[in-house]
Structure formats: C-alpha cells, structure tokens
Amino acid sequence: MNLRRANLRRANLRLANLPRANLRRGNLRRGNLRRDNLRRANLRRANLRRAHLRRANLRRANLRRANLRQANLRRANLCRGNLRRGNLRRANLCRGNLRRANLRRANLRRGNLRRANLRRGNLRRANLRRANLRQANLRRANLRRGNLRRANLRRANLRRANLRRGNLRRANLRRANLRQANLRRANLRRGNLRRANLRRANLRRANLRRGNLRRANLRRANLRRGNLRRVNLRRANLRWANLRRGNLRRANLPRANLRRGNLRRGNLRRANLCRGNLRRANLRLANLRRANLRRGNLRRGNLCRGNLCRANLRRANLRRGNLRRGNLCRANLRRANLCRANLCRGNLRRANLRLANLRLANLRRGNLRLANLRWANLRWSNLLWLTCIR
C-alpha cells in the first residue's frame, strides 16, 4: 500500500493491517495506531508526534529520522527496527521490545524506557539524557559515546555493554549489573553506583571522581589510571582489582576489600583505608602520604619504596610485609604488628613505634633517628648498621 506523504492527522487506524505499507513522510500526528500491524512498514521521516502506538507491531519497520516526540509506544514491538536519528524525546517506550534495534544518534531525552528490552541494541552516540531506563535490559548493547547524563539506570542490566567514552555524569546506576561492561574513558563523575556489580568491568582511565561506589562489587575490575579522587568505596569489593597508577587521592575506602589488588604507583594521598583488607596487595612505589591505614590488614603486602610519610598505621597488621626502602618518616606505627617485616634501608625517622611488635623484623641499614621505640618488641630483629643516633 502506497500512502506516501498522506495526511492522516488524528486518523483512527486502530487494529489496521498495514504490513510493508509505504508511509514515507506521512503525517500521522496524534493518530490512533493502537495494536496496528506495521511490520516492515516504511515510515521514514514520518510525523508521528503524540501518536498512539501502544502494542503496535513495528518489527523491522523503517523509522529513520521519524518524529516520534511524546509518542505512546508502550509495549510496542520495534525489534530490529531502524530508528536512526529518530526523535523520540519524551516518548513512552515502557516495556517496549527494541531488541537489536538501530537507535544510532537517536534523541531519547527524558524518554520512558522502563523495563524496555534493548538487548544488543545500537545506541551509539544516542541522547539518553535524563531518560528513565530503570530495570531496562541493555545486555551487550552498544552505547559508545552515548549521552546518559543524569539518566536513571537503577537495577538495569548492562552486562557486557559497550559504554566506552560514554557520558554517565550524575547517572543513577544503583544495583545495576555492569559485569564485564566496557567503561573505558567513560565519565562517571558523581555517579551513583552503590551496590552495583562491576565484576571484571573495564574502567581504564574512567572518571569516577566523587562517585558513590559503596558496597560495589569491583572484583577483578580494570581501573588502571582511573580517576577515583574523593570517591566513596566504603566496604567495596576490590579483590584482585587493577588500580595501577590510579588516582585515589582523598578516597574513602574504610573496610574495603583490596586483597591481592594491584595499586602499584597509585596515588593514595590522604586516602581513608581504615580497617581495610590489603592482604598481599601490591603497593610498590605507591604514594600513601598522610593516608589513614588504622587497623588495616597489610599482611604480606608489598610496600617496597612506598611513600608512607606521616601515614596513620596505628594497630595495623604488617606481618611479613615488604617495606624495603619505604619512607615511613613521622609515621604512626603505635602498636603495629611488624613481625618478620622487611624494613631494610627503610626511613623511620621520627616514626612512632611505641609498643610496636618488631620481632624478627629486618631493620638492616634502616634509619630510626629520633624514632619512638618505647616498649617496642625488637627481639631477634636484625639491627645491623642501624642508624638511631639522636
């Protein structure tokens, strides 16, 4: 059926059977197309503003550059449909089927996509600013360079989704599934990722500044060179995570699990790691100046050549830790457990080691000048060539 450029404004076409119909550039503004069969129909550049398309069948339909602003597409079938550069601003796509649909550069600003199925959909460079994607299925979807600023993605499924260089500033990703998702160079500044699943996710060079990742699962996640300044990672799971050369300045990590994590050359200046689990973590050449590691578990941790100047390590567990050539100048190690720790050539000048356990510790060629060793346990420790002159 050829209805090219036809004027069907406010027309009642409810339950109409129009498969493969040609409605190119047709005017269907405010038209009633509820439950219509428009399978493989050509609606290119058609005007469907405020049209009623609830439960309509638009499977494989061509809606390229179509105007669907404020249209009602609730539970509509747009599977494999072409909506490239389409205007879907404030459109209602709640529970809609958009599986493998082409929404490249489409405008979905403030659109309602709650519980929508966008699995394997192409949303590259799409505008989803302030869109409602709560509980939406975006598994393996392509959202590269997409604009998701302030979007609601609470409990959304983004497993293996491509969000590379995406703008997710202030986005709500609470309890979202981002397992194995690609977030390389993504902007997640001030984003809410509380209790989100980011297991094995790629966050290399991602911007997470001031983000909320409380109790988030980042096990084996790649955060290399990521910006995590002032981020909230309280009780987060970062086991086996790669944070090499990451910026964690003033980050909040109390009771966080960083067991076997890679923090080599990381910037943790003034970071809060109180009661954190850093067992066997790699902190070689890391900057922990003025960091709070009170009661932290650093057993067998690698802090070789690390900067711990003025750091708070009170009651910290550094048993068998590698602190070779480490800078612990003016550090607070009161009641710390340094049993069998390697402090060879370490700088402990003016350090507070009161009541510290240094049994069997290696302090060879170490600098303990003006250090407080009152009531410290130095039994069987190696003090060869030690400097402790006042």
* Cβ 28 vs Cβ 49: under 8 Å: no
The model's pLDDT over 253-307, given as tens digits with 9 standing for 90+, comes to 999 999 999 999 999 999 999 999 999 999 999 999 999 999 999 999 999 999 9
Whether 49 has a pLDDT exceeding 80, the answer reads: yes
Which parts of the chain are beta strand (E)? none
Whether 170 has a pLDDT exceeding 70, the answer reads: yes
The model's pLDDT over 72-96, given as tens digits with 9 standing for 90+, comes to 999 999 999 999 999 999 999 999 9
Q: Give pLDDT, residue 11.
A: 85
The owner of tokens 């493989």 is: 40
Percent of the chain clearing pLDDT 70 (strictly above): 99
Q: Give pLDDT, residue 365.
A: 92
Beta carbons within 8 Å of 274's beta carbon, 6+ residues apart: 254, 255, 292, 293, 294, 295, 296
Q: Which two tokens stand for residue 347?
A: 């700088």
Q: Give pLDDT, residue 59.
A: 97
DSSP secondary structure letters along 196-222? -B-TT-B-TT-B-TT-B-TT-B-TT-B
Q: Give pLDDT, residue 224.
A: 97
Whether 380 has a pLDDT exceeding 70, the answer reads: yes
Q: Give pLDDT, residue 175.
A: 98
Q: Provide the residue type at 250 as one letter.
A: R
DSSP secondary structure letters along 8-64? -TT-B-TT-B-TT-B-TT-B-TT-B-TT-B-TT-B-TT-B-TT-B-TT-B-TT-B-T
CA distance 127 to 45: 19
Q: Provide the residue type at 64 as one letter.
A: R
How sure is the predictor about 185, in pLDDT bands with cuts at 50, 70 and 90? Answer: very high
CA distance 302 to 182: 29
**DSSP 8-state assignment for residue 222:** B
The model's pLDDT over 18-32, given as tens digits with 9 standing for 90+, comes to 899 999 999 999 999
Q: Give pLDDT, residue 179.
A: 98
More confident residue, 117 or 388: 117
Q: Which two tokens stand for residue 269?
A: 């200046």
Closest CA to 213 of 232, 241, 237: 232
DSSP reduced 3-state for 381: coil
Q: Give pLDDT, residue 389.
A: 55
The owner of tokens 């599934």 is: 177
Average model confidence (pLDDT) across the chain: 96
303-312 — which CB contacts under 8 Å span 24+ positions? Answer: none
The model's pLDDT over 85-132, given as tens digits with 9 standing for 90+, comes to 999 999 999 999 999 999 999 999 999 999 999 999 999 999 999 999
Q: Give pLDDT, residue 19.
A: 92
Q: Report pTM.
A: 0.94
Q: Give pLDDT, residue 390.
A: 56
Whether 67 has a pLDDT exceeding 80, the answer reads: yes
* Cβ 48 vs Cβ 24: under 8 Å: no
Q: Give pLDDT, residue 5.
A: 80
Closest CA to 349 of 335, 366, 367, 336: 367
Beta carbons within 8 Å of 27's beta carbon, 6+ residues apart: 5, 6, 7, 8, 9, 46, 47
Homologous superfamily of 1-92 in CATH? E3 ubiquitin-protein ligase SopA (2.160.20.80)
